[in-house]
Structure 1
Amino acid sequence: MPGGGGEVGWQYLQRQDAHSTSVNSSLLLTNNLLGQSDLSYEDFTPIAMLLTEWIAWATASNADVQDADELITKLQDDPESLIFGLSPALGSGYHLSTSQIAMLSGVEPRDLQVLVYDSGGEAMNALLGGHIDILVNSMSVLSSQYEAGEIDIHAVTSPERLELFPDVPTWQELGVDIEFPHWRGVMGPPDMSEEEIAQYDEWFGEMAESEQWQRDLESNMFFDFYMDSAETKDFLEEQNELFNDIIESVGLMP
């Protein structure tokens, strides 16, 4: 059920019973923190965390840039010296991860020059056309142009190097202590019983261990991020606190 960054579907889920679930993402948290929705993660029952993408910074291959350290140095010298491109909005995971990297590197995130595009494809065209200096997107979106030699990927927000991209360092390797997943999970309507939650834990736990699920992740360039209902509840609380701090730091708090 499309619409409103998930809002329409989530409003529908609130009125259903435990036979209905919904995929969620960081939008569930950021929409609320940005004042775009009255719904928060606390209005639903956390069921599972399933998968993640990892976020990276990329430049055009013909750019006069050697590595991520050089990009950070330029931003430290002048935060307005580089133009970022991302989608689909300020306050998105791509924007928040970039802001956190800036903060951890001693750069004022409010000073960053950010252009927002409707889609990752538009942002990629802007990068290749020389309209922006750095594209922030998931590795799955960047992979085709990277493999074609059109872009360079300088660092990724995963805790370890990705097997599919062994030459791309993590930000942690470069001294920036960030781990920023671009996750997807599952939630149910409010007030589910312990028995209903336990049943979903069993179902999703079995699915996450299946060979078919692992093949599906690999074919879509997603990464396993499974957590059960209790772990998901704790994770959402941590993410909400982190996002709140970043949104406040970049001046987007309503």
Structure 2
Amino acid sequence: MRKKILVLVMTFVTLLTGCSSEKNQEVIGDEVTIIAPSSIGGGWDLTARAMQDVLMSEKLIDGDIQVMNKIGAGGELGWKYTNQQKDHVLAINSSLLITNHLLGQSKITYKDFTPIAILATEWEVVIVSKDSNISSARSLMDNMKEAPHRFKIGVSPRLGNDDQLSFVLVGKQVGLNSDELDFFIYENSAQVVDALLKKQIDVATMTLAEAKKYYDLNQVKMLVISSDKRLEELPDVPTWSEEGIDLVFEHWRGVMGPPNMTKSEIQFWDTTMEKMVQTEKWQQTLEKYMWKDFYKNSSETAKFLEEQDKMYEALMNVNRKD
């Protein structure tokens, strides 16, 4: 009798799972595409491929996941493409989605998409080549104050992103106006580091995950990190506060979809993303790239983006008054 009951229970569970799987398949289709609006190895690309890896390996979706790199115009080409899609496409975003518009570089705003999630934050760092005579972030800023145009600063993929903005905010604290800083724009962080090693630029600002592989290869020195305290993994890298600059700055990355996504799609991704960020493999991903968990679901993300839009507008209004 017990064996019959067990068989009935297992059959019922299988039927339920099958129904759920079929329902999910109807919502997201056989294939999901994640748009990384940057080249391979950039921060957006790392995030997209981390999602792809965890969602597939943990079997959190039934279909296939492809990552598509749509490169150009500081994320603009990838986001325009996403905006025009209707079926099962997501895109990685960051604050540049907001600042592109505030700077007049784009007509697209965060309101032109369906918010899905904010996933993680990471710190900003300032790097120089390993053989550079710049010994500290403080000495760099002091020298820049005396002769700002002597220093070429590398940034990617566009002005107005957090890499540049964090550096501008530091400059303000030592009396430098943003128009005194000479930024050189590159398509991705690999090109920035290449220019740094070839002495075409003197210093670069980028996210920690992008810089760390070059640091591990002993090609660059990290002068400073925008964290509130030194990281255990990088005990020799001081914070801005240790360099006498009052700045703690976090860079976030999230996920969005095309406009007019259905309630069923949003609900599916809310459930799936919440499961994803709770997996051990996602936690290992955070540790690998030294990201901080900052998960927000779709409704929380909508509020967060509105708040960020107001914050960046205030920051950039200050910059425009210089």
TM-score by length of 1: 0.82
- Listed one character per residue, the Cα deviations across residues 200-230 of structure 1 (whole Å, up to 9, x for unaligned) are 3333222112101112333455443322334
Code of the residue aligned with 1:231 in structure 2: it is: E
Give the corresponding residue for 1:115.
Answer: 184
Give the corresponding residue for 2:50.
Answer: none
Q: What displacement does 1:6 show?
A: 4.2
Q: Report if the CA contact (8 A) 1:18-1:196 is conserved.
A: no
- In 1, the alpha carbon distance for the partners of 2:253 and 2:160 equals 17
Give the corresponding residue for 1:28.
Answer: 97
- In 2, the alpha carbon distance for the partners of 1:234 and 1:137 equals 27
- Listed one character per residue, the Cα deviations across residues 159-189 of structure 1 (whole Å, up to 9, x for unaligned) are 3333322221222343433333332211234
Deviates more, 1:222-231 or 1:2-11: 2-11
Q: How many residues in Structure 1 have an aligned counterpart in Structure 2?
A: 252
Q: Report if the CA contact (8 A) 1:85-1:114 is conserved.
A: yes
Does 1:159 find its partner at 2:233?
no
Q: Report if the CA contact (8 A) 1:157-1:178 is conserved.
A: yes
The verdict on how the C-alpha distance between 1:161 and 1:236 changes in structure 2, with shifts beyond 3 A counting, is farther
TM-score by length of 2: 0.66
RMSD in angstroms over aligned alpha carbons? 3.0
Does 1:135 find its partner at 2:209?
no
| Percent of pairs with identical residues | 38
- In 2, the alpha carbon distance for the partners of 1:141 and 1:13 equals 24
Deviates more, 1:238-247 or 1:115-124: 238-247
State which of 138, 143, 157 in structure 2 corresponds to 1:69. 138
- In 1, the alpha carbon distance for the partners of 2:300 and 2:169 equals 24
Code of the residue aligned with 1:117 in structure 2: it is: Y
- In 2, the alpha carbon distance for the partners of 1:11 and 1:206 equals 29
State which of 197, 218, 225 in structure 1 corresponds to 2:294. 225
- In 1, the alpha carbon distance for the partners of 2:129 and 2:76 equals 35
Does 1:97 find its partner at 2:166?
yes
The verdict on how the C-alpha distance between 1:104 and 1:238 changes in structure 2, with shifts beyond 3 A counting, is farther
- Listed one character per residue, the Cα deviations across residues 231-252 of structure 1 (whole Å, up to 9, x for unaligned) are 3233323332343344445559
State which of 171, 185, 201 in structure 1 corresponds to 2:254. 185
- In 2, the alpha carbon distance for the partners of 1:41 and 1:216 equals 26
- In 2, the alpha carbon distance for the partners of 1:47 and 1:143 equals 28
- In 2, the alpha carbon distance for the partners of 1:212 and 1:178 equals 32
Code of the residue aligned with 2:143 in structure 1: it is: K
Residue 164 of structure 1 aligns to a residue whose secondary structure is coil
Give the corresponding residue for 1:169.
Answer: 238
The verdict on how the C-alpha distance between 1:103 and 1:53 changes in structure 2, with shifts beyond 3 A counting, is same
- Listed one character per residue, the Cα deviations across residues 19-62 of structure 1 (whole Å, up to 9, x for unaligned) are 65432222321222232322211233322111233221112232
State which of 118, 126, 142 in structure 2 corresponds to 1:49. 118
Q: Report if the CA contact (8 A) 1:30-1:243 is conserved.
A: yes
Code of the residue aligned with 1:146 in structure 2: it is: Y
State which of 205, 215, 219 in structure 2 corresponds to 1:150. 219
Code of the residue aligned with 2:300 in structure 1: it is: E
User: Which consecutive residues of structure 1, in runs of 5 or more, have no partner in the other structure?
Assistant: none
State which of 55, 58, 62 in structure 1 corresponds to 2:127. 58
- Listed one character per residue, the Cα deviations across residues 123-181 of structure 1 (whole Å, up to 9, x for unaligned) are 21222232322111222232233234332211112333333222212223434333333
The verdict on how the C-alpha distance between 1:12 and 1:70 changes in structure 2, with shifts beyond 3 A counting, is closer
Q: What displacement does 1:113 show?
A: 1.9
Which structure has more relative contact order (CA 8 Å, sep 6+)? It is 1
Residue 149 of structure 2 aligns to a residue whose secondary structure is coil
Deviates more, 1:233-242 or 1:94-103: 233-242
- In 2, the alpha carbon distance for the partners of 1:238 and 1:62 equals 42
The verdict on how the C-alpha distance between 1:131 and 1:36 changes in structure 2, with shifts beyond 3 A counting, is closer
- In 2, the alpha carbon distance for the partners of 1:143 and 1:229 equals 31
Q: What displacement does 1:112 show?
A: 0.9
User: Which consecutive residues of structure 2, in runs of 5 or more, have no partner in the other structure?
Assistant: 1-67
Q: Which one has a larger percent helix, Structure 1 or Structure 2?
A: 2
Q: What displacement does 1:73 show?
A: 1.6
